[in-house]
């Protein structure tokens, strides 16, 4: 081994039940450490002095164990700021899935902070690789080089923080408006932020950003992963990074890449405090913080990937393997490995991580990436999986928001609607059906192909009962997280600007990213500069407003991707995960049309917030109220109730949706939709007795101010491919 070593301080074993609390804890002037590993024969704590210097040394402390699968000790005289790592020895038998190698300094899977991201090199692999990180032989030979200078070091930190009198906002689901954002991309180019705060946790909580969020009506920020992450080898070889962070290195440590330069210079404790300060300021503004968490896989890639943590501690426990060939890791995530949620240790680590972020960082909820992987048991996905039951019953987690990305790439991997309470779920059917109605179908018709009816759009607008009403008792439309665009795929503006993806900058010859985008360039590929009066540009802007209005006025919980409210573009890139550049940074210097779009978006979601008819909390029954008008009714362009045969008619693309206010005094809503490429004459559906309709929104108008106020005539003409919203008035 190349690291200079010496004997560590005298350690003592931990008593039961202290051995059941995994991870590091500062206790009585020293450190309690508990590390899980069933199959190791020896586990050593390495206290690192003079880290990252030519004189780096390790004080090695053998841990006591194995004790029911854990190794543990109390080490005296260990204080905040101490660097440390783990070494694990045991069998080397790759064919059996065992790859213990004590030459590799491992990151504690429960590390609360790290000093830096690992630097990928041959030393990080437990088996021998060449300079290009390719395996030298089969069967694999253990690598003898020490990895302590390349791998991340865990840091002992003090978790104390002054939260003052700030409290969680506890936004009810029916009032929730989600804003999906990447810490760096959101603020990197914000002109009102000091340069040193742009692209940072502190920058996200700057008053200028908070003012933007509150003026838009956002209640909950959903942050792309902020767990410490590591870039995979394929990107490193191209000089790129995993900018989105879906490659987790540490499930308990914040990513120092998003901290301010001052915090990074001050050390991991300052990074931790900057994250907490961000949460504190957002809470003070009434905004929740929801984390996108990646518990389905880790940064260690497939069987031939690096060894930075879990693989070196107990490969067979952490990762799902092929039972017949344990050397091969099962991959249902598309990322090289899958954490094995059939094992209690994996479930425990995930729950411990969730509780830690909830308790220590006051996080309000979690969005689970590829959540089907987290609920795979012996026979595939199960809505009664122990992990899902634990989240529902855990006293810390049960009161928070939980959002599933309800798919992975394994067998039966699409489970939209399949997750039980308390989980809401991203509704990809809403995304696809809204795009199809407003973009893909008109595009097809413009090329002479037949269209489709409004049936699917109507189902999504009314709450997606086909997906969420039956599979889990007690669910409501609020289980559906509706969205048009997210971090993954085209931005809203790119949806109306490009027919094809343009991912050349990703370095994969445009092979990566979705091909089923359901987008429409409206007749010309790419941006049209300096021609804001051009008919194509006008159609594009109207289509953006149609999609945003569909999102704002649909039953369910709306989510918007950061920047879509003001026309962000990624230049046609629909998979910009490896780009940290102006392609992904939101441009806050807005053109007039972008300011108009921002004002329109804010107005739409303000209407949603003000009127309960636009955010129902229960599925509709179709039953009449006391005045004889149902809680939900559909009408055609002639003002007649839609017949069952019309839903199957491909030409039926002009319709009206009447939704009643849930309580006396609430205004009723009428959404009138023209999905055809020519103007439509519409006889408005009759309002409830004693009421009239008032126009409050028109997607054909560039700004809210251009919508005429006052009572509306019973017969109107809708512009091509547009919609209008009416509210009842006495």
Distance CA 63, CA 86 (A): 10
Structure tokens at 492: 């809203």
Residue 357, token pair as written in the block: 């972020």
Omega of the bond prior to 41 within 30 degrees of 0, cis? no
Q: Note the pLDDT of residue 136.
A: 77
Exposure letters 430-444 (e unless 16+ CB within 10 A, then b): bbbbbbbbbbbbbbe
Give the integer Cα–Cα distance in Å for 318 and 314. Answer: 7
- Going by the DSSP 8-state scheme, the letter that residue 648 receives in this structure is G
Q: Indicate if 544 belongs to the active site.
A: no
Distance separating alpha carbons of residues 501 and 200, to the nearest angstrom:
29
Peptide bond into 422 cis (omega under 30): yes
Residue 508 per-residue DSSP state = S
Strand order in the sheet with 154-155: 4-7, 57-62, 42-49, 83-89, 154-155
Angle at 218 between CA 216 and CA 220, to 5 degrees: 165
Residue 706: the pLDDT is 83
Longest dimension (CA), the chain: 88
How remote is the C-alpha of 111 from its chain's centroid? 23
Catalytic residue of the set 314, 369, 456, 668:
369
Q: State the pLDDT at residue 138.
A: 67
**Residue tagged active-site, from 405, 408, 564, 636:** 405
Quote the tokens at residue 438.
Answer: 């407003």
The residue behind tokens 């037949």 is: 450
Burial label for 131, CB within 10 Å (0-12, 13-18, 19+), is exposed
- According to DSSP, the residues that pair with 680 across neighbouring strands are 718
- What's the pLDDT at 139? 65
Task: Tell me the whole-structure pTM to 2 decimals.
Answer: 0.97
CA 6, CA 466: separation in Å to the nearest integer? 65
Per DSSP, which regions of 112-219 are E strands? 154-155, 178-181
Nearest to 591 by CA among 569, 571, 616, 575: 569
For residue 1, what pLDDT is reported? 42
Query: Is 232 a known active-site residue?
Result: no
Average pLDDT, consecutive stretches of 10 residues, N- to C-terminus, the chain (730 residues): 73 95 95 97 98 96 96 97 98 95 98 96 95 80 96 96 96 98 98 98 98 98 98 91 97 98 97 98 98 98 96 97 88 97 97 98 98 96 97 97 98 96 97 97 92 94 94 88 98 98 94 94 90 85 98 98 98 97 97 96 98 97 90 97 94 96 95 97 96 96 84 92 95
């Amino acid at each position: 081994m190349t690291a200079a070593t010496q004997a560590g301080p005298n350690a003592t074993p931990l008593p039961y039940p202290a051995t059941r609390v995994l991870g590091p804890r500062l206790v009585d002037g020293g450190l309690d450490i508990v590390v899980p590993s069933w199959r190791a024969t020896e586990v050593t704590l390495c206290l690192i002095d003079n880290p990252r210097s030519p004189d780096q040394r390790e004080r090695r402390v053998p841990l006591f164990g194995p004790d029911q699968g854990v190794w543990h000790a109390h080490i005296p005289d260990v204080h905040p700021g101490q660097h440390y790592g783990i070494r694990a020895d045991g069998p080397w038998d790759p064919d059996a899935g065992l790859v213990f190698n004590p030459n590799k300094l491992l990151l504690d899977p429960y590390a609360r902070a790290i000093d830096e991201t690992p630097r990928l090199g041959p030393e990080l692999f437990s088996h021998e690789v060449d300079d290009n990180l390719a395996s030298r032989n089969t069967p694999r030979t253990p690598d003898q080089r020490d990895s302590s200078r390349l791998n991340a070091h865990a840091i002992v930190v003090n978790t104390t923080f002054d939260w003052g009198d700030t409290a969680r906002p506890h936004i009810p689901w029916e009032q929730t408006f989600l804003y999906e954002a990447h810490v760096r991309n959101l603020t990197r180019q914000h002109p009102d932020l000091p340069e040193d705060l742009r692209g940072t946790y502190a920058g996200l909580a700057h008053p200028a950003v908070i003012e933007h969020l509150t003026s838009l009506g956002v209640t909950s920020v959903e942050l792309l992963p902020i767990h410490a992450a590591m870039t995979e080898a394929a990107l490193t070889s191209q000089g790129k990074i995993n900018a989105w962070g879906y490659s987790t290195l540490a499930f308990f440590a914040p990513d120092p890449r998003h901290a301010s330069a001052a915090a990074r210079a001050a050390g991991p404790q300052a990074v931790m405090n900057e994250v907490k300060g961000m949460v504190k300021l957002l809470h003070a503004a009434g905004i929740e913080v929801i984390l996108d968490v990646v518990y389905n896989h880790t940064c260690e890639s497939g069987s031939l990937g690096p060894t930075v943590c879990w693989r070196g501690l107990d490969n067979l426990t952490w990762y799902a393997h092929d039972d017949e060939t344990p050397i091969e890791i099962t991959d249902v995530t598309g990322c090289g490995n899958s954490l094995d949620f059939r094992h209690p240790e994996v479930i425990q680590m995930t729950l411990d991580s969730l509780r830690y972020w909830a308790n220590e960082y006051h996080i309000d909820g979690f969005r689970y990436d590829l959540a089907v992987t987290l609920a795979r048991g012996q026979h595939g996905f199960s809505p009664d999986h122990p992990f899902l039951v634990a989240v529902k019953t855990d006293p810390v987690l049960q009161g928070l928001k939980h959002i599933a990305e309800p798919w992975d790439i394994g067998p039966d991997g699409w489970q939209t609607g399949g997750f039980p309470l308390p989980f809401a779920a991203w509704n990809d059917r809403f995304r696809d059906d809204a795009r199809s109605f407003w973009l893909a179908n008109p595009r097809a018709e413009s090329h002479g192909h037949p269209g489709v009816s409004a049936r699917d759009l109507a189902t999504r607008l009314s709450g997606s009962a086909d997906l969420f009403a039956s599979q889990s008792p007690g669910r409501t439309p609020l289980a559906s997280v509706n969205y048009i665009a997210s971090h993954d795929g085209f931005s809203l503006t790119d949806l109306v600007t490009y027919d094809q993806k343009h991912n050349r900058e990703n370095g994969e010859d445009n092979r990566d990213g979705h091909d089923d985008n359901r987008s429409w360039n409206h007749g010309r590929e790419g941006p049209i500069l300096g021609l804001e009066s051009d008919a194509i540009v006008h159609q594009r802007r109207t289509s953006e407003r149609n999609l945003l209005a569909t999102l704002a006025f649909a039953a369910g919980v709306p989510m918007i991707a950061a920047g879509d409210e003001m026309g962000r573009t990624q230049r046609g890139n629909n998979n910009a995960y490896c780009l940290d550049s102006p392609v992904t940074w939101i441009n806050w210097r807005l053109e007039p049309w972008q300011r108009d779009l921002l004002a329109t978006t804010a107005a739409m979601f303000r209407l949603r917030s003000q009127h309960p008819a636009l955010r129902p909390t229960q599925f509709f029954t179709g039953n009449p109220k006391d005045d004889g008008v149902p809680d939900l009714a559909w009408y055609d362009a002639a003002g007649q109730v839609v017949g069952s045969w019309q839903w199957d008619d491909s030409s039926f693309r002009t319709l009206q949706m009447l939704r009643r206010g849930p309580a006396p005094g609430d205004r009723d809503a009428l959404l009138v939709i023209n999905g055809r490429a020519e103007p439509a004459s519409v006889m408005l559906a009759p309002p409830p007795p004693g009421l009239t309709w008032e126009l409050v929104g028109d997607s054909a108008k560039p700004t809210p101010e251009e919508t005429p106020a006052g009572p509306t005539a019973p017969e109107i003409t809708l512009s091509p491919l547009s919609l209008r919203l009416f509210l009842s008035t006495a």
